[in-house]
A and B are shown apart, each in its own frame.
Chain A
Amino acid sequence: MIPDEILHREGFCYLNTRASHLLFVLRKDGRIVQANDSATRVTGDNIIGKNFCEVLVDFTWKADLHSFALDSSEEYIMSIGTVSGLPQSYYFTFQQVAEDIIAFGRLDVEELESMRKEILVLNQELNNATRELHKKNATLKRLNAEKNRFLGMAAHDLRKPIGLLMTYSGFLVEETADVLNSEHLGFLETIHASCGNMAQLVDDLLDVSAIEAGVFPLRLEHVNLAALFSASLEPNRVQACQKGVQLDVDCRGLSGAILDAAKIEQVIGNLVANAIEYSVPGAVVAVRLTCDDRFIRFFVQDHGSGILPEEVGQLFKPFQKASTVKTAGERSTGLGLLISRKIIDAHSGKIWVDSQPGQGSTFHFEIPAQGDNHRDTDEYPFDRLSI
């Protein structure tokens, strides 16, 4: 048998140095005069001389140690501010010994155990869900790539026969004008015009499938903006003239810029063509291109029927057409704005529309004037953000 006093001494020594329990000896006013190693470790501080309330995470509530010490069998949950910055709860009992109060704090092992188990399970579930999501993501990516390939192949294979149809129907229209009656000639002209629409659709689909497949490289080059602008508008001028729409073009102070000329021409051409198509004969379409050191800004404004607010968000998505109709019943593939957005996105720019139903629409885009640095270098553009 080990004598009691040795047991007490060893027990106390253990409590003082190794045990995870907290032990404080407090003066009447709450001042800490003694604390075990665990208390010092947990609080990470020299706590001797401090008031016991200072080591607690303090809300409005104040610990009334004397009343606590009246019944030493009662336990009180108190949170200690720990060295990690997050609080830890201990179950405290207080005991009056002569003039001082001894405070013991214990962790509730069962409670911690159940939290540990629960967090383990939650983490497992989270991990499994993440795995499943990654797997589904991979499948979706694969399916999407297959769809793009299919779309690309179909569009590519259709291009040739449509081209043939267009050429030969064109020949027929020209060469049989005096042989056929006007009704049959009308049929032929419809076939020819439809072939044109089909060819445009196929070209757009090819663009979209290239964009979707991520094979849509920008050929960034130094360009003269004024020359690019006038080249972009060339087809639009013919179109406007045919429809009797007036183009009001302004592009003062343009300098050089770095961009993919063919693609930006495509965007400008497309946006201006839309504006003309939604204008009535005699109307004015305003086209502006400006440029400063940092940005190229473009807008085209028509006075057509405008776009309903609930349709604005859909405009730049595939096959979306506004419910309003083009003034001469012109056809479109519903892909033009999507392609424009993708081109502007690839230039790290922004494209948007302001529209008032009944008053017309203004389509804008804005792209960096000197190319998009971070895409080229793969570096984070911290230099352009100031913190």
Chain B
Amino acid sequence: MISSQLYQEYLNCLLEGKRLDCTRIVQDLLDRDIPIKALYNDLFEKSLYRVGQLWEFNRISVAKEHLATAITEGLLNLVYPRLFELEHQHKGKRIVISCAANEFHQIGGKMVADICELNGWDAEFLGANMPLDHMLLHIQETKPDLVGLSLTVYFNMSSLKKGIEVIRSNFTHLDIFVGGQAFLWGGTEMLKHYSGVEYIPTLNDIEKSIKES
């Protein structure tokens, strides 16, 4: 549904900070009933990865990257009316998704929460840089069936490990899904030391996993 020409037009607007043009493109796609997953993967994620690359190669500044991110987060708001108004088949299941402590990348985790919501789960997103004690308390109060942890920066792997260990010791049987770009650099091996912890790479995979669970 997103042609390469449309993607390019969107990316250019995003890089030039043309928020209203980006809004128009996204609203138009939503009006044409684009599947939310496609919008997330093929427009938002793809363009942000590109933004990251351009920044990495010193082709754009941090300011431009921040602006593109702020615009994207604003555009996610356009999706919410549709996300929450749709009559999903409620599964009576709850997932809590959170970023690891010290992790400031939150868009990926938020998308995962939205996809769970689309699949009839009650999905709560706790946000970036979540202190462990708050997360534990939240888990205790809301009693989810699953917890999802998002990690982007590989150097934060120790925060994630700590998070997994603490959740495991307090909630023995609570399954934990982890995901995020950090695992592209490694880390999936160490997950094998923990019971009930699984690495889920993509939105398609999370959809499959929650359908099975």
A residues contacting B by CB (< 8 A) are 59, 61, 76-79, 86-89, 91, 108, 111-112, 114-115, 118-119, 121-122, 125-126, 129, 310, 312-317, 350, 380-382, 384-387
Contact = CB atoms under 8 A, between A and B. Distances in A.
Contacts, number: 86
Majority DSSP secondary structure for residues of B touching A: helix
B170 interface: yes
A111 B61 contact: yes
Nearest to B120: A313
B208 interface: no
Given A115-B66, A314-B90, A386-B169, A108 B133 contact: no
B17 A115 contact: yes
Nearest to B59: A77
Nearest to B166: A387
A129 B74 CA distance: 11
Nearest to A313: B92
Q: Which 4 pairs show the lowest CB-CB distances between chains A and B?
A: A313-B92, A89-B61, A313-B91, A89-B62
B105 interface: no
A314 B92 CA distance: 7
B63 A112 contact: yes
Interface stretch (B32-40, B50-58, B187-195): B50-58
Contacts of B91: 313
A386 B168 CA distance: 10
A108 B61 contact: yes
A119 B90 CA distance: 36
18 contacts: A77-B58, A79-B58, A86-B62, A87-B62, A89-B60, A111-B63, A114-B17, A115-B63, A115-B64, A118-B17, A119-B67, A122-B73, A125-B74, A313-B90, A385-B137, A385-B140, A386-B166, A386-B169
Contacts of A317: 90
Contacts of A313: 89-93, 120
Contact of B62 (A88, A121, A122, A387): A88
Contacts of B60: 77, 89
A116 B203 CA distance: 33
A74 B120 CA distance: 55
Contacts of A118: 17, 19, 67, 70-71
Interface string B100-126: 000000000000000000001000000
Contacts of A384: 140
B143 A115 contact: no
B210 interface: no
Given A78-B58, A79-B55, A115-B67, A387 B143 contact: no
Contact of B64 (A111, A310, A385, A387): A111
Contacts of B3: none
A112 B17 CA distance: 11
A340 to B, nearest CB: 14
Majority DSSP secondary structure for residues of A touching B: mixed
A314 B120 CA distance: 11
A147 B67 CA distance: 45
Contact of B133 (A77, A314, A385): A385
**Which residue, B67, B89, B93, B143, has most C-beta atoms of chain A within 10 A?**
B67
Contact of B58 (A61, A88, A316, A382): A61
Contacts of B74: 122, 125-126
Contacts of A111: 61, 63-64
B68 to A, nearest CB: 10
Contacts of A89: 60-63
A230 B207 CA distance: 45
**Which residue, B58, B60, B66, has most C-beta atoms of chain A within 10 A?**
B58
B170 A385 contact: yes
A309 to B, nearest CB: 9
A180 B210 CA distance: 61
A129 B90 CA distance: 27
Given A115-B63, A122-B74, 8 more contacts: A88-B62, A89-B62, A314-B90, A316-B92, A350-B143, A386-B169, A387-B133, A387-B136
B5 interface: no
A61 B137 CA distance: 43
B30 interface: no
Contacts of B58: 61, 76-79
**Which residue, B55, B63, B64, has most C-beta atoms of chain A within 10 A?**
B63
A129 B7 CA distance: 28
A256 to B, nearest CB: 25
Contact of B70 (A122, A312, A381, A382): A122
Contacts of A79: 55, 58, 61-62
A119 B72 CA distance: 12
B146 interface: no
B125 to A, nearest CB: 16
A315 B58 CA distance: 56
B59 A382 contact: no
A385 B169 CA distance: 9
A137 B80 CA distance: 16
